Chains A and B, each alone.
Chain A
């Protein structure tokens, strides 16, 4: 059931917003946002609290409708009225708090709402086995898929939610601050899965208020501030200073780079970028201004 997304070379982007805006009554939560998400690309949406990040992804995810501009999926104008509808178009959202039911076993969570049936009952053996295999493919080796998902670490939980979305045919994966509540090590794990989803050809929209997390994995960066677009860059268009201007310090950055490096592959390349960055900005451990 896992989809293999072909590289869309000339086709329309998976998701395109043009001049999109949203107001809640007389509150202008979002204005003039233009955004493209293609397969095999990570778009990072950055901004402080209240910048409009959640509003933006709620439009894409079908929880809210845009009040201005257009929203196209693979070239077709859309106006989703429910998350289900967005899901049917291959747009899956992993919310930070809404991802899972903590007391339920991992495999029950994995298939929740998409249970595989065999007559009137569920095909439990298939679901157990598939959950284990899909998680293994993402590099999570769970001892027991029967353990309540609440007993997993925050990062692992996010990863289960991500691999679930991938398994059920998501073409676009929206992640609302998946690293916000996580420590550096766990954040590194989640960033690794973001890269893995990208390698599988998915378009990823990664929401964060932390540029340390965004820069190593992102291909495009959308900066929001108070509901407006502060900047929209491809990776080669943005200077590091512009993004890292929002950074608090270099120590966390270094740790993060070590985490990524340890995992190898594309993650190690990202770690390299991160390290260079720390070096060039002179914000490494013990450097003046490091805080």
Chain B
């Protein structure tokens, strides 16, 4: 898994540091719990489910992981910044619906619909963020509200405009082919077909990790999540950072929506509900603290990979898929407990 490669800070020059073992240092990373969990789950499925060992299976696990992992990149940043977004799952659907219906109804080039959809998705993020910072109401409640509103809008507007619960097929619209190349193409590496979302996912994880650890904006994300009043006191533009993070979630929701649209040509207006929790689960399993100020994008990527493995592995193992959500819940609890333990040990070692 290439996204576990991490940028290590250069060691400080102090002879007392040397006494801290590399293991101790590694254990202070937020994503350690998730990494251990991923290895264990991989081994379990590798042993119990022979089809899981096929390269094509890994490819489809990674594909499923990427469709959840892409929004989880921004959801993790938002959680580190101290906020939630429960509307992210249905915002994915809204984005796909807007692009599809805009281009179809106005017989516009597909790319026009794609851009209009981006503007709408960023606006949803902005409204979420603006309401949270201006009212001071917890983002859990604000985005619960926008979640229901978007869910209603998705169904109502789609039915109003198309007369149907889904959108019309857009594959004949000009620009569809090129947009499909960008958002939903497949290519072969050594006989294994790889979905392009995997590459986008890796790219987003690298960019987000770089921003988080290497730029002043990343410093501000940790700070506003760790203590908004302290950040404000030293001049960090707390409201702008938070609104920006909600808009980043909007962006990733848009991107995922575009993938769904160009992978399936039509969009069902009722999909996406519940996915917001999967993004949050991925972030939490990956070591993000619910209270903000701590976490990692690489961790969230590992979290999404665990989700993808479980999702597909159960099928390969021939288990009853009804157990999937039970398994997911148990995994979440286990991850939270493990992360807690790891963090406490890390603190004690310092």
> Does the CB pair A132–B227 fall under 8 Å?
no
Binary CB contact string for chain B from 215 to 243 against chain A (1 if under 8 A, 0 otherwise) = 11001101100110111011110000000
State whether A100 and B230 are in contact (beta carbons under 8 Å apart), knowing that A83-B235, A146-B12 are contacts in the complex.
yes
> Does the CB pair B10–A113 fall under 8 Å?
no
From 85 to 117 in chain A, residues with beta carbon under 8 angstroms from any chain B beta carbon are 87, 93, 95, 97-104, 108, 111-115, 117
Q: Is B89 an interface residue (CB 8 A)?
A: no
How far apart are the CA atoms of A221 and B88 in the complex, in Å? 56
> Does the CB pair A121–B214 fall under 8 Å?
yes
> Does the CB pair A122–B216 fall under 8 Å?
yes
> Does the CB pair A112–B347 fall under 8 Å?
no
How far apart are the CA atoms of A99 and B226 in the complex, in Å? 12
> Does the CB pair A101–B222 fall under 8 Å?
yes
> Does the CB pair A143–B14 fall under 8 Å?
yes
> Does the CB pair B222–A143 fall under 8 Å?
no
Q: Is B294 an interface residue (CB 8 A)?
A: yes
> Does the CB pair A145–B293 fall under 8 Å?
no
CB distance from B6 to the nearest CB of A (A): 15
From 295 to 323 in chain B, residues with beta carbon under 8 angstroms from any chain A beta carbon are none
CB distance from B127 to the nearest CB of A (A): 26
> Does the CB pair A103–B231 fall under 8 Å?
no
Binary CB contact string for chain B from 183 to 210 against chain A (1 if under 8 A, 0 otherwise) = 0000000000000000000000000001
State whether A103 and B293 are in contact (beta carbons under 8 Å apart), knowing that A98-B229, A143-B17 are contacts in the complex.
yes
Q: Is B136 an interface residue (CB 8 A)?
A: no
Q: Is B350 an interface residue (CB 8 A)?
A: yes
CB distance from A168 to the nearest CB of B (A): 9
> Does the CB pair B233–A95 fall under 8 Å?
yes
From 119 to 157 in chain A, residues with beta carbon under 8 angstroms from any chain B beta carbon are 120-122, 124-125, 128, 132, 143-148, 151
State whether A121 and B215 are in contact (beta carbons under 8 Å apart), knowing that A100-B230, A112-B236, A144-B14 are contacts in the complex.
yes
> Does the CB pair B222–A146 fall under 8 Å?
no
Q: Is B9 an interface residue (CB 8 A)?
A: yes
State whether A120 and B235 are in contact (beta carbons under 8 Å apart), knowing that A101-B222, A144-B12 are contacts in the complex.
no
> Does the CB pair B350–A147 fall under 8 Å?
yes
Q: Is A185 an interface residue (CB 8 A)?
A: no
Q: Is A240 an interface residue (CB 8 A)?
A: no
Binary CB contact string for chain B from 1 to 27 against chain A (1 if under 8 A, 0 otherwise) = 000000001101010110010000000
Residues of B within 8 A of A279 (CB): none
> Does the CB pair A128–B222 fall under 8 Å?
no
* Number of A-B contacts defined by CB within 8 Å: 86
Binary CB contact string for chain B from 236 to 263 against chain A (1 if under 8 A, 0 otherwise) = 1000000000000000000000000000
> Does the CB pair B294–A103 fall under 8 Å?
yes
Q: Is A84 an interface residue (CB 8 A)?
A: yes
> Does the CB pair A112–B223 fall under 8 Å?
yes
> Does the CB pair B231–A146 fall under 8 Å?
no
How far apart are the CA atoms of A32 and B271 in the complex, in Å? 66
Residues of A within 8 A of B216 (CB): 115, 117, 122
CB distance from A254 to the nearest CB of B (A): 34
> Does the CB pair B226–A104 fall under 8 Å?
yes
How far apart are the CA atoms of A236 and B118 in the complex, in Å? 70
From 68 to 87 in chain A, residues with beta carbon under 8 angstroms from any chain B beta carbon are 83-84, 87
How far apart are the CA atoms of A91 and B92 in the complex, in Å? 47
> Does the CB pair A101–B293 fall under 8 Å?
yes
> Does the CB pair B9–A124 fall under 8 Å?
yes
How far apart are the CA atoms of A87 and B236 in the complex, in Å? 13
The residue on B at minimum CB distance from A143 is: B16
CB distance from B265 to the nearest CB of A (A): 39
The residue on B at minimum CB distance from A164 is: B234
Known: A104-B293, A112-B220. 18 other contacts (CB 8 A): A87-B235, A98-B233, A101-B226, A101-B227, A103-B293, A103-B294, A108-B223, A111-B219, A112-B230, A113-B235, A115-B219, A117-B216, A120-B215, A121-B214, A122-B215, A122-B219, A143-B17, A148-B350
- Residues of B that sit less than 8 Å from A by CB: 9-10, 12, 14, 16-17, 20, 210, 214-216, 219-220, 222-223, 226-227, 229-231, 233-236, 289, 293-294, 347, 350
- Residues of A that sit less than 8 Å from B by CB: 83-84, 87, 93, 95, 97-104, 108, 111-115, 117, 120-122, 124-125, 128, 132, 143-148, 151
Would you mind naming 19 contact pairs between A and B with Cβ atoms under 8 Å apart?
A83-B235, A97-B229, A98-B227, A98-B230, A100-B230, A102-B226, A104-B219, A104-B223, A104-B226, A112-B234, A112-B236, A113-B235, A121-B210, A122-B219, A143-B14, A144-B16, A144-B17, A145-B12, A151-B347
